[in-house]
Amino acid sequence: MEKGFGDHHPLPGGRERYEVRFHGRGGQGTVVASVLLAEAAFLEGRGVQAFPFFGVERRGAPVVAYTRIGEGPVRLGGSITQPDALVVMDTSLLVGLKDTWRQGLRPGGVVLLNRGSVPNNLRPLMDSIHIHHIDAATIALRHHLGSAANPLVNTVVLGAFARVTGIVSLQALEDAVRTRIPGQLVENLDAMHEAWDEVEES
């Protein structure tokens, strides 16, 4: 998707463009998360772009999705190689991806993990990047989003991400959810609000 722009508050760090890379698995709502973030930013008057990259299109397979948010129209093509922020929707991916999941992350960048705590092996990185965590799977299940085998965590992680980055408002995310995923609207909005309140930095 690519849309227009207008009046808005400055992007973090005064940047002209803010780029987010999502790592997840098929069935978690990773691609929808990237689109919802872009939709929320568009509703606040920014230029946006969101698109996925699929290796194997099947449930449980690794998925990467991208969102670009700009002060003006976003015309840059191609994958995001130097993200300002990373969202890891399934931390089991960290094992298989080794260090490649954080490849290109800008110094001082933001990482949001779907996890109850930050793994010990990542703690040394916290001197150079900001690592936050939210138990998105537990929150999603508490609000009946998905199943125990496959919780739908997209709106949960976005609530947390909006809180820690300030890149979009909670109200804009709510409006994007109403537009894009009207099914289980109350459950998704409640889960998003809970994540906004509970996200942590270790």
pLDDT for residue 62: 86
DSSP secondary-structure letter at 134? E
Q: State pLDDT tens for residues 87-101.
A: 999 988 888 767 778
How far separated are the first and last CA of the chain, in Å rounded?
A: 34
Mean pLDDT of 179-202: 92
Query: What per-residue confidence (pLDDT) applies to 3?
Result: 43
Residue 58 has pLDDT above 90, yes or no: no
Please determine, for residue 1, whether its predicted confidence score (pLDDT) is greater than 50. Answer: no
CA 14 to chain centre: 20
The pLDDT of residue 97: 67
Question: 24-50, pLDDT tens digit by residue?
Answer: 988 889 999 999 999 999 999 999 999
The whole-number pLDDT of residue 26 equals 86
Q: Which residues contact 141 (CB under 8 A, 6 or more apart)?
A: 148, 151
Q: Domains in the chain, start-ordered, CATH in brackets? A: 12-201 (3.40.920.10)
pLDDT number for residue 121: 83
Question: For residues 167, 91, 132 and 57, what is the CA-based torsion angle, rounded to 10 degrees?
Answer: 0
Q: Which pLDDT value is given to residue 2?
A: 42
Mean pLDDT within 60-64: 84
The count of residues in the chain is 202
Q: What average pLDDT does the segment 60-68 reach?
A: 89
pLDDT at 13: 67
**What percent of the chain is predicted at pLDDT more than 90?**
63
Whether 114 and 166 have beta carbons less than 8 Å apart is answered as no
